[in-house]
Amino acid sequence: MVKLKQICNHPYQYLKKDISSIGKDNEIKDIISQSNKLERLLEMTDEVISNGEKVLIFTQ
């Protein structure tokens, strides 16, 4: 169950990839594109910010 949750959150969690050294825009876009959850979160965030509102994201 834990492995499935890791894959759903982001494949890099399951693969145990170190992303701490990532910094180039194209690398960041690649990481985001591999997670539908993260892509949707960023879409929603952009929508809220474009309406002049602020976003607060809680994580576990």
Report the C-alpha gap between 28 and 31 in whole angstroms: 5
- What are 37-54's pLDDT values in tens digits? 888 888 999 999 999 999
Q: Give the mean model confidence (pLDDT) for residues 56-60.
A: 82
The domain ranges of the chain are 1-51
Q: Is it the case that residue 36 has pLDDT exceeding 90?
A: no
Report the C-alpha gap between 15 and 17 in whole angstroms: 5
Confidence of residue 35 (pLDDT cuts 50, 70, 90): confident
Inter-residue contact 11 to 35 (CB < 8 Å): yes
**Distances in whole angstroms, Cα of residue 5 to Cα of each of 1, 20, 25, 31, 37:** 6, 21, 27, 17, 12
Inter-residue contact 9 to 35 (CB < 8 Å): yes
Of residues 55 and 36, the one with the higher pLDDT is 55
Which pTM was predicted?
A: 0.60
